[in-house]
Amino acid sequence: MERSRRYETLKARFRSLCRIVNAVGGLLLITIMVMITADVISRSLFDSPIDGVFEVVELLMASLVSLGLAHAGVQGAHVTVDFLVSNLSATLQRVIDLINHLISAVLFGAICWKSLEQALKLKSYETTTVLLEIRLYPFLIILGVGAGLLGIVYLFYFTDRVIERKS
C-alpha cells in the first residue's frame, strides 16, 4: 500500500513537472508570435526586416515542440492508429499496448541520450547559427530533455499496465 501511494505521488509530481515544462513552451510560443509580428510590422512600415528573426524562430519552434511532448503524452494526446489492433482480443490488445509503451520508452530514451551526446559535441565544436551566431547546443539539450520526459511518460504507462495486469 505504501509503495502504491509513493508511486502515485511520484506520478503526480511528474505530471506537474510536465505542466511546467509545457508552460515554458507556451511562453516560447508567445515569444515567437511577438517576434514574427514585430518583424512583419518592421518590414511593412519601415521596409526593414529584423535581422535573424528566422533563425531565432527556427530554434524556438524546435524547443517549443520538444517541451510540449511530455505534457501531450501525459494527456494521452498523441495520435495512435489502432485499426488493426482493435479487432484483436482484449488480452492481445493489452499485450501489444504493453510492448508499444516499452518500445516507446526505449526509443525516446535513446533520442534523449543521443541528443545530449550531440549537444556536448556541438558545445566543444562551438557550433553556431550562421547569421546571429547563436550557440546550438542548448537547443539540443532542450530536445533531449523533452524526449527524455516523454520516455518517462511511456515508462509510467508501461508500469501502470504491468500493475493493472497483476491486480
Tens digits of residue pLDDT in 125-156: 999 999 999 999 999 999 999 999 999 999 99
Average pLDDT over residues 64-86: 91
Whether the CB-CB separation of 51 and 131 falls below 8 Å is answered with yes
CA dist 161 and 97 (Å) reads 8
pLDDT tens figures, 92-103: 999 999 999 999
Average pLDDT over residues 70-99: 90
Average pLDDT over residues 42-67: 97
Average pLDDT over residues 55-71: 98
How many structural domains is the chain composed of?
1
User: Which cell is 53 given?
Assistant: 528573426
CA dist 53 and 36 (Å) reads 7
Whether the CB-CB separation of 70 and 150 falls below 8 Å is answered with yes
> What's the whole-model pTM score?
0.93
CA dist 54 and 2 (Å) reads 52
Rounded (10°) angle between helices 137-166 and 90-125 = 160
Average pLDDT over residues 25-37: 98
pLDDT, mean over the chain = 95
Tell me the residue range of the domain where 25 lies: 2-166
pLDDT over threshold 70, residue 167: no
